[in-house]
A and B are shown apart, each in its own frame.
Chain A
Amino acid sequence: MAGEVMVVAEQVGSKVAPVTLELLGEGKKLALKLGQHLTCFVIGHNMQDAVQEVIKAGAQKVYLADHQELAEYKTLHYRRVIVDELGKWTTPPHTLLMGSTTTGRDLAPRVAAFFETGLTADTIELDIGPYEHTSGTDETKLGYFPECLYASRPSFGESLKARILGPWKDPQMATIRPGVFPKPEMLDSAPEVEVVNVACNFQGSDYRVEIKETIRELETKVDITAADVIVAGGYGLGSGEGIDLLKQLADCFENSVIGASRKIVDLSWIDYPHQVGQTGKTVRPKIYIACGISGALQHRVGMQKSDHIIAINKDPDAPIFSFADHGIVGDLYQVIPEMINQIKSKRNSENKELKNA
């Protein structure tokens, strides 16, 4: 009999991270397919509100490790409560999910190595389905497995998406990119569900790492995920000065922002908060204007769900044209000024009409 679907919640300042809610939403679907409960492992300090929040998002049972040592994420302390609790279960969770954040990417591999189980990184699709293992040197692995966790992720540089599974050992683990799944509809009030208090038996060795200072940018100055229009630049800009041109185009629109490919962030032409793609943000604006971006898979996964994609590129064979809605083949240093020009003149003529009316 399969175990439950468990989401390990992530928190900052006792507040549940958005990715946790997204995972609860998706985890619910997996739990339904398995005929199992969706549970949530909440770790932190003063987490009462957070517990209510995860229940509203769909958790049917909560494991709560609430301790002052857990107020901030610490690898060894968080690892301790998870491996101690799950280590004593006779039936481990079927599926164990965490966000693919700096925290999840730090914690999940430690838990996976402890349980000697599989872990799929940076997943973008989840499902439950069958798998038959018919060949291989290890005969103990042969067989038909009706309920595997399917975790799919892009394989970079190869333009492939790969489905990864491992039904031989539970928990079947995956980290999932924030922003890939929508936030679930939240219940107005939290129903009564069981909350299990988890023991926190920290060992001396858990204190080998000490946090001296945490510096959080309280407000991220740029939030590209909330923009309606994103004007994004890539290596085709040629130099960091091209960013100015993008700004001029973005300025023509309401609620607009500059986006960037990983390459130009690595080159320090623009700051990391602007980065779109696998190692940056996932965005779904109404309009995405990709300027000098080739459209490599790692960029594509971060923006392909935009409503309308306009691509400007010199190279007619650039991959971006395979999934954009409108493709302009040309020099962006000619195309963008002309675009600004036409948008402005159109606006001016409309304004005149308004005045005349």
Chain B
Amino acid sequence: MNNKDLDIYVLIKQVPDTRSKAGVNPDGTIDRAKAGKMLNPFDAYALQAALNAKKMGGPNSKVTAVTMGPPPAIDILYQALEHGADNTLMLSDRRLAASDTLATSYALCQTLEYAFKQNGRPGDLIFCGLQTTDGDTAQVGPEISERLDFTQITYCEDFSISDNEVHAKKIIEGGTQLVKAQLPSLITIANSYQKLKFKTLRGAQFVQDIKRSSKEEQAKFVEIIDLDACHAEELRCGLAGSPTIVSKTWKIGVVGGNCKMHQGKSVPDLVGEVVQGLPILEEFVKI
């Protein structure tokens, strides 16, 4: 091992909670105001990866959880602290509304640069979830990696760090690959990685303590900054900074309606109607 101390960042996002039915309209659309919120499930793997990476580094290695979002997203930063993150940082600014992936990657990149500066040196590792459940693009991680000129390992299933290099197993088309990448590196974690472990007792106690402490004390562990603090250009953020827009949406959850329904009869009758009513079935029945 003998690794140096590692500065590890993990990018996390708060997303609508799609596990519960709260806020889900009958037509399948989501009322974001009413829906519950949760940590993006893919990011839970990334958080665990960051915590594991900390153990692979020197004794003063640390994990900083970073998010961008409206004020309530602070909940997931507390969650990260409960699981063992050392620090957190949030970019929150109304001017970020309607950011697409490129604008998001710019704003997060500025946030990371801000953290690197505060810390006196650039980060060694950035972990991201594979994608989010509300955007499903998987683009923000690699876009940040391009901006920071980090090496990049996507779809990472497992990794270790030695001699200041990452040795990783990653998914590729039709197989897997073992790669070695120099630090600094941005790694997106596949959902075949280890599940997030339980909160630590110490982490839970820690969060209780800071929630009870003064605002100044809270800000030491949960720092909230705006675009000005991280020197982000307004025109490169939010709607103005997004090269793409959604020009039109269609509801597609309730179209169709030509389904022949079979219900309210005995099981043999229900099945009989379908088997008799669909002659094409016979074509494929084994003789």
Give me the interface of A with B, judged by CB distance under 8 Å.
10, 12, 17, 73, 75-76, 79, 101-103, 105-106, 108-110, 112-114, 116-122, 131, 133, 136-138, 141, 150, 154-166, 168-169, 205, 208-217, 220, 228-229, 251-256, 266, 278, 286-287, 297, 307-308, 310-311, 316, 319, 321-331, 334-335, 338-339, 342-343, 346-347, 351
Contacts and interface: CB of A to CB of B under 8 A. Distances in A.
Nearest to A163: B248
Interface residues of B, number: 87
Given A160-B251, A322-B256, A339 B151 contact: no
A327 B105 contact: no
Nearest to A266: B191
A159 B284 contact: no
A137 B287 CA distance: 68
B29 A339 contact: no
Chain B interface main SS type:
mixed
Nearest to A155: B249
7 contacts: A17-B173, A157-B18, A158-B30, A205-B149, A251-B286, A319-B253, A342-B271
Interface stretch (B2-10, B179-187, B206-214): B179-187
B287 A351 contact: yes
B60 interface: no
B101 A136 contact: no
A307 B134 CA distance: 30
Given A131-B247, A138-B235, A323-B255, A328 B262 contact: yes
B152 A75 contact: yes
Nearest to B136: A156
Contacts of B102: 112-113, 116-119
Contact of A166 (B105, B244, B277): B244
A102 B154 CA distance: 8
Contact of B136 (A131, A163, A168, A278): A278
Contact of A138 (B30, B153, B240, B254): B240
A338 B268 contact: yes
A316 B138 CA distance: 34
B250 to A, nearest CB: 5
B280 A287 contact: yes
B120 interface: no
Nearest to A120: B244
B259 interface: yes
A73 B263 CA distance: 52
A261 to B, nearest CB: 14
A144 B257 CA distance: 37
A157 B30 contact: yes
Given A138-B239, A252-B286, A122 B137 contact: yes
Interface in B134-175: 134, 136-147, 149, 151-155, 167, 171-175
